[in-house]
């Protein structure tokens, strides 16, 4: 009610045009028309920047006072007023007065109501151009940190489950066809590695955005003796940006975030797709937690993997957000253009979807139950040790690999015709295919020995999986 009453009072006293004119300055004789008012207003979405906007303004006012540009008394009043506005926003939300356009003018207007003329000194030596560039950069920096935290939580879940299933055998697939046996722990750690790269991308993006645009003003800098190092330090940046034109027109930091988010979402989508497949009755490898599944309105037996499907679906929206901002920025001349007002909605949407997806996947991995007996049976049923037969012929009989591959293929064909597993074929039948095969081959054809034999660095052997689990636990600080 506070915001509505304030706007009504302004309209009754001065009219929309006069009030808007007061905020815009003397250049315009009347306020924008209804269409312009609606297309121009960004407060419905950029109100999300209120914390960053107030932090930037408080740092700016403190610097102005330290440099003798405004008085200490005015700076103190500004700071106290901004602190009170932050309390109001926290408790009541940010009011949406479209005549004030955005979060910056909304806050400055409220500050004027609270402290009077001193509020007008806050905007000395800055523009909304460097103000929004700073606010948005602060918001995206925090979004990178939230993404990294969400990724770490999912990594911990993956590593925990990988340790539990370091020796449990399942079929490994290529082309979604049974290829070679692997361990479930090894499979889960593959996603751990993808997420390691995702975390590095967010960290690199955060490092690149560690420069503060505040003080670049509209596009050319300012004639006031400001201290940009001070405001950069106060806001947690490593340094100020080096070029004022680039500072107000740069949105690379947002594109960096979206690029990292899109690739991360791609990885989450792949993991979600596997869980969806594994949870289906033909696979039956996993039972997803009830809390992240839904039922059917008509079929009582159904347990739908809706959370995983939504994570898979969200990946497309996150990738679309990246494309949206790239297309917005691709043809803009220096410096600021109003097109850039559309930079925030795709970033806000992508961040919300990504953080929700990470939390959902961490819950799914942590609370799912795996049917390891069914996984093992599937590995045994798909002739997954055919490569082991070829490798045995190379290693023990000196057969060239291409010839060994042909012999192993013939053995698979025979087992398929007999409806039996490869290691269940009689030795006599195997020797009829190639006389160099002897009884030692059966040790190589078991899924346990097949998995154990893949002991090269990064392989699926349980000893290697346990080593990788321990390395990952140390990297994540899980043993501290």
pLDDT of the residue at 391? 87
Q: Which tokens belong to 195?
A: 């997420």
pLDDT of the residue at 305? 86
Neighbours of 400 (CB within 10 A): 10
8 A C-beta contact, residue 265 and residue 318: yes
Q: How far apart are CA 480 and CA 477, in angstroms?
A: 5
Q: How far apart are CA 180 and CA 150, in angstroms?
A: 32
pLDDT digit string (tens) for the chain, length 480 residues: 344 334 333 433 344 444 445 555 555 555 557 778 888 889 999 999 999 999 999 999 999 999 999 999 999 999 999 999 999 999 999 999 988 999 999 999 999 999 999 999 999 999 999 999 999 999 999 999 999 999 999 999 999 999 999 999 999 999 998 888 999 999 999 999 999 999 999 999 999 999 999 999 999 999 999 999 999 999 999 999 999 999 999 999 999 999 999 999 999 999 999 999 999 999 999 999 888 777 665 665 657 889 999 999 999 999 999 999 999 999 999 999 999 999 999 999 999 999 999 999 999 999 999 999 999 999 988 677 888 888 889 988 898 999 999 998 998 898 888 888 888 888 888 889 988 988 888 888 888 888 998 999 999 999 999 999 999 999 999 987
8 A C-beta contact, residue 307 and residue 365: no
DSSP H or E stretch at residue 211: strand 211-212
Nearest CA among 367, 400, 310, 356 for reference residue 161: 367
pLDDT of the residue at 118? 96
CA distances for 160 relative to 156, 268, 360, angstroms:
6, 18, 17
pLDDT, tens digit, 9 for 90 and up, residues 122-163: 999 999 999 999 999 999 999 999 999 999 999 999 999 999
pLDDT of the residue at 111? 97
Q: How far apart are CA 434 and CA 374, in angstroms?
A: 33
Residues belonging to the active site: 175, 296
Q: How far apart are CA 109 and CA 52, in angstroms?
A: 17
How many Cα neighbours within 13 Å face the side chain of 54? 23
CA distances for 398 relative to 136, 174, 190, 394, 437, angstroms:
65, 28, 33, 5, 11
pLDDT, tens digit, 9 for 90 and up, residues 60-94: 999 999 999 999 999 999 999 999 999 999 999 99
Residue listed under structure tokens 């408790």: 91
Radius of gyration for the alpha carbons in the chain, expressed in angstroms and rounded: 31
pLDDT of the residue at 16? 41
Q: How far apart are CA 314 and CA 190, in angstroms?
A: 22
pLDDT of the residue at 301? 63
8 A C-beta contact, residue 440 and residue 427: no
Neighbours of 60 (CB within 10 A): 27
8 A C-beta contact, residue 308 and residue 268: no
Query: 176 φ, ψ to 5°?
Result: 60, 25
Neighbours of 73 (CB within 10 A): 10
8 A C-beta contact, residue 266 and residue 194: no
Eight-class DSSP state of 250: -
State the pTM of this model. Answer: 0.88
Looking at the DSSP bridge assignments, the partners of residue 211 are 239
Q: Which tokens belong to 182?
A: 């692997």
Looking at the DSSP bridge assignments, the partners of residue 287 are 369
Q: How far apart are CA 315 and CA 274, in angstroms?
A: 15
């Amino acid at each position: 009610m506070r915001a509505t009453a304030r706007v009504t009072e302004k309209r009754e006293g001065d009219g929309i045009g006069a009030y808007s004119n007061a905020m815009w300055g003397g250049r315009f004789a009347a306020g924008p028309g209804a269409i312009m008012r609606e297309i121009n207003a960004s407060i419905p979405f950029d109100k999300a920047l209120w914390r960053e906007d107030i932090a930037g303004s408080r740092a700016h006012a403190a610097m102005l006072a330290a440099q003798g540009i405004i008085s200490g008394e005015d700076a103190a009043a500004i700071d106290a007023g901004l602190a009170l506005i932050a309390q109001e926003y926290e408790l009541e939300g940010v009011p949406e007065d479209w005549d004030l356009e955005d979060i910056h003018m909304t806050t400055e207007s409220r500050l004027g109501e609270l402290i009077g003329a001193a509020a007008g000194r806050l905007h000395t030596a800055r523009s909304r151009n460097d103000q929004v560039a700073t606010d948005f950069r602060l918001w995206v920096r925090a979004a990178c940190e939230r993404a990294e935290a969400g990724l770490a939580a999912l990594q911990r879940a993956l590593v925990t489950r990988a340790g539990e299933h370091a020796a449990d055998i399942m079929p490994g697939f290529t082309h979604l066809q049974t290829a070679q046996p692997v361990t479930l722990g090894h499979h889960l750690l593959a996603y751990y590695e993808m997420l390691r790269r995702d975390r590095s991308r967010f960290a690199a993006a955060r490092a690149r955005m560690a420069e503060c645009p505040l003080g670049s003003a509209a596009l050319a800098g300012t004639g006031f003796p400001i201290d940009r190092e001070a405001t950069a330090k106060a806001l947690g940046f490593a340094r100020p940006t080096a070029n004022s034109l680039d500072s107000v027109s740069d949105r690379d930091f947002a594109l960096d975030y979206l690029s990292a988010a899109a690739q991360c979402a791609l990885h989450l989508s792949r993991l979600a797709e596997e869980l969806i497949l594994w949870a289906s009755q033909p696979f039956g490898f996993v039972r997803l937690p009830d809390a992240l599944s839904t039922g059917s309105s008509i079929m009582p037996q159904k347990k739908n993997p809706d959370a995983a499907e939504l994570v898979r679906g969200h990946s497309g929206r996150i990738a679309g957000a990246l494309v949206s901002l790239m297309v917005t920025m691709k043809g803009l001349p220096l410096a600021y253009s109003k097109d850039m007002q559309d930079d925030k909605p795709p970033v806000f949407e992508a961040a919300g979807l990504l953080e929700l997806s990470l939390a959902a996947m961490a819950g799914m991995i942590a609370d799912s139950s795996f049917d390891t007996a069914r996984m093992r049976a599937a590995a045994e049923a798909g002739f997954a040790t055919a490569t082991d037969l070829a490798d045995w012929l190379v290693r023990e009989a000196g057969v060239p690999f291409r010839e060994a591959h042909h012999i192993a293929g013939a053995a698979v064909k025979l087992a398929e015709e007999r409806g039996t597993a490869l290691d269940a074929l009689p030795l006599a039948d195997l020797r009829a295919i190639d006389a160099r095969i002897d009884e030692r081959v059966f040790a190589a054809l078991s899924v346990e020995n097949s998995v154990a034999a893949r002991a090269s660095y990064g392989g699926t052997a349980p000893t290697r999986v346990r080593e990788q689990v321990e390395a990952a636990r140390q990297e994540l600080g899980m043993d501290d």
